[in-house]
Amino acid sequence: MTDGPDVRMTLNFIIDSSREKYGDLAAVGMAMEEPITYEEFHDRICAVAIRLQQEGIAKGDRIALLAENSHHWGTAYLAIVRLGAVAVPILPDLPEADVHHILTEMKAKVTFTTQRQIEKLYDLRGDKIQKLITLDDYPGTEGLLPVEPFNAYCEAALADYREQKVTGELPAFPDVAEDDVASILYTSGTSGFSKAVMLSHKNLTSNAYAASTLMEVKQGSVFLSILPMSHTYEFTTGFILPLLLGARVAYAGKTPTPAILQNLCAQEKPYVMFVVPLVLEKIYKKRVLPKIEKSRLLTLAYRFAPARRRINRKIGRKLLEFFGGNLAMMGVGGAALNPDVEQFLVEAGFPYLIGYGLTEAAPLIAGGPLGDPTIVVGSSGKPIPGVEVRILDPDPESEIGEILARGPNVMLGYYNDEDATQEVLSPDGWLATGDLGRMDEQGNLYIKGRCKNVVVLASGENIYPEAIEHKINAVHWVVESLVVENDNKLIAWVYPDYEYIDEATAGQTRAQRRDFLENLLETMRKEVNGQLPLTSRLAEVLERREPFIKTATHKIKRYLYDKNAKRS
């Protein structure tokens, strides 16, 4: 969306204008708890910002957020950028060594954290940790670090703020421009080398404005938030977007189990949710497939398309009930959705929208719009408004090449790494995504995999391992898989569903269990090979006895397992 007389592309402008438009409406809160209004939210943001300013935080200073989701997280973030300071969100699942690296490099003057995260900070005592504020009010009883609980901090700030409003003595905030850095985020990429992405106010706000055109959202609608706010996917679409539209954000807290999620949805009746594919794939494998496979009649009927569609439609209605019965759209992103699961969602009449993006694009590049009949199953929809997409050097036959994107959402660059920035950003603003894809005549974008993951065999054939993994992962007893090249052959590592194995081999000896699993693996190899071209067939399928190490969006860190993986 372009600038106009009534629009400024800063996060501060969005929050100010939302307060004016939706002041008395509920804005944010924990799920199943009383939310705060847009007016109250705005007051808290400004009060905390003034308090930080009084404590010496100035424009350009970096402040870290190492915490699970909550409305306090959002308050802290927006108070930081109100001052023109730079928010540094850190994914809560990152190990201690990564947290130390980020905080040391960023020289964060304040860190907002929680009890679950604070142990990662104990070894940074001294000048590396200047001030800690706990968003969950943890008092830090160990005495190893000076801690200030957020509610006390916020209440004291609010008392001063209200008095200053009455006396007309509110201090001025620095001018914040749309091209100022709002956030520095460390990517959780699969390459093993995370980079510090600098996103401006305009990067984030332009993406939220563009996303707001993909579907209609009524004021007061509920967005249920289950993904980490420290990832741009949830931050832009699950936080800034609803605030832009006058919706309410309800935070689930920590990642909920299916039973807890069902209870939250029954209470909150969300209108919109954003998930990673793993959530839907688990539901499909654990709740959909077992019901069909336990009935001979359903299994037989499922082989015929008309009957399968009727069965899926019925399951789809129950799935909507699971999510509270009011869901108008579930955004799916962060990783590729299994084609079999997407086909089920289509036939089930389930309202979903697949998005494609990356941190460097704040994050959306393509997705939707909702209800567009020209969107093809298996694609990521159209480039979002204001974003251009083109394919670099497409293959003459497959039309596959590297995806390039350009628009107001594309990052400023990587922090303190001009060489890496120049590798992916052209002088005329095109971002090299590192992803392979193609576009059809209707403008749909298809993602085929990462450039660095392509396997080139001695025959010269390009093999896209992700496509093979989708076929393997569609098997009901497979949790996850990884396809790698070894001595010019394709090998698949499979982490099976051991609950299924235990149930199927109850009472058997260890040798019998081993034979059962080996037969499963070999049978699956033959069945999957039957769906693949000769050049893409698997030479061997091996059991993996523990889950693969993954990124925050549940993508496997391939470089840890593929000896040929190229790091970048």
pLDDT digits (tens, 9 = 90+) for 99-126: 998 999 999 999 999 999 999 998 886 6
| CB contact set of 35 (below 8 Å; sequence gap of 6+) | 26, 27, 28, 29, 71, 248, 250
* Secondary structure letter of residue 391 according to DSSP: E
Note the Cα 128 to chain centre separation in Å: 29
Q: Tell me: the pLDDT tens digits for 476-498?
A: 899 999 999 888 889 999 999 99
Both tokens of residue 80? 């930081």
Q: Which CATH class is domain 454-560?
A: alpha beta
Q: Tell me: the pLDDT tens digits for 253-292?
A: 877 888 899 999 999 999 999 998 888 888 888 888 888 8
Q: Alpha-carbon distance 356 to 379, whole Å?
A: 9
Q: Alpha-carbon distance 418 to 423, whole Å?
A: 9
For residue 189, is pLDDT > 90? no
**Helices (DSSP H) in 92-149: which residue ranges?**
96-106, 115-118
pLDDT band at 566 (very low <50, low <70, confident <90, very high): very low
Among the ranges 162-176, 203-217, 483-497, 539-553, which has the highest mean pLDDT value? Answer: 203-217
Q: Which of 52, 256, 268, 292 has the alpha carbon at shortest distance from 160?
A: 52
> Could you write out the three-class secondary structure of 235-295?
HHHHHHHHHHHCCEEEECCCCCCHHHHHHHHHHHCCCEEEECHHHHHHHHHHHHHHHHHCC
* Secondary structure letter of residue 89 according to DSSP: E
Return phi, psi of residue 169, to 5°. Answer: -110, 30
Among the ranges 256-260, 387-391, 529-533, which has the highest mean pLDDT value? Answer: 387-391
Q: Alpha-carbon distance 450 to 402, whole Å?
A: 9
**What pLDDT, on a 0 to 100 scale, did the predictor assign at position 362?**
98
| CB contact set of 109 (below 8 Å; sequence gap of 6+) | 56, 57, 61, 62, 63, 130, 131
69 in helix, strand or coil? coil
Q: Alpha-carbon distance 136 to 73, whole Å?
A: 10
**What pLDDT, on a 0 to 100 scale, did the predictor assign at position 546?**
95
Among the ranges 111-115, 166-170, 457-461, which has the highest mean pLDDT value? Answer: 111-115
For residues 166-183, give the mean pLDDT.
94
408 in helix, strand or coil? coil
For residue 191, is pLDDT > 70? no
> Is 133:110 a contact under the CB 8 Å cutoff?
yes
**What pLDDT, on a 0 to 100 scale, did the predictor assign at position 324?**
97
> Parallel, antiparallel, or unpaired for β 462-463 and 455-456?
antiparallel
* Residue type at 314 in one-letter notation: K
For residues 67-74, give the mean pLDDT.
97
Q: Which of 412, 490, 501, 428 has the alpha carbon at shortest distance from 455?
A: 490
| CB contact set of 162 (below 8 Å; sequence gap of 6+) | 43
Return phi, psi of residue 524, to 5°. Answer: -65, -40
Q: Alpha-carbon distance 299 to 293, whole Å?
A: 6
For residue 127, is pLDDT > 80? no
Q: Tell me: the pLDDT tens digits for 143-155?
A: 777 899 999 999 9
For residue 384, is pLDDT > 90? yes
Please give the share of the chain, as a percent, with pLDDT higher than 90: 74
497 in helix, strand or coil? coil
11-189: CATH, from 3.40.50.12780, 3.40.50.970, 3.40.50.920, 3.40.50.1000? 3.40.50.12780
Q: How many other CB atoms are there within 10 angstroms of residue 93's CB atom?
A: 14
Q: Which helix (H) or strand (E) holds 406?
A: strand 401-406
**Position with higher pLDDT, 471 vs 567:** 471
Q: Alpha-carbon distance 435 to 390, whole Å?
A: 12
161 in helix, strand or coil? helix
**What pLDDT, on a 0 to 100 scale, did the predictor assign at position 94?**
86
> Is 224:250 a contact under the CB 8 Å cutoff?
yes
Q: Taking the domains of the chain in order of start, what are their residue ranges?
A: 11-189, 454-560
**What pLDDT, on a 0 to 100 scale, did the predictor assign at position 563?**
59
pLDDT band at 565 (very low <50, low <70, confident <90, very high): very low
**What pLDDT, on a 0 to 100 scale, did the predictor assign at position 555?**
81
For residue 5, is pLDDT > 70? no
| CA-to-CA separations, 526 to 104, 517, 518, 537, in angstroms, rounded | 51, 14, 13, 9
For residue 198, is pLDDT > 90? yes
Q: How many other CB atoms are there within 10 angstroms of residue 519's CB atom?
A: 10
**What pLDDT, on a 0 to 100 scale, did the predictor assign at position 313?**
95
pLDDT band at 193 (very low <50, low <70, confident <90, very high): low
Q: Which of 214, 207, 239 has the alpha carbon at shortest distance from 1?
A: 207
> Parallel, antiparallel, or unpaired for β 132-134 and 62-66?
unpaired
**Position with higher pLDDT, 272 vs 466:** 272
Q: Alpha-carbon distance 51 to 47, whole Å?
A: 6
For residue 3, is pLDDT > 50? no
For residues 458-476, give the mean pLDDT.
86
Q: Alpha-carbon distance 174 to 535, whole Å?
A: 61
| CB contact set of 221 (below 8 Å; sequence gap of 6+) | 242, 245, 247, 248, 271, 272, 328
Among the ranges 21-25, 99-103, 138-142, 339-343, which has the highest mean pLDDT value? Answer: 21-25
For residue 386, is pLDDT > 70? yes
Q: What is the dihedral of CA 142, 145, 151, 155, to 10 degrees?
A: 130
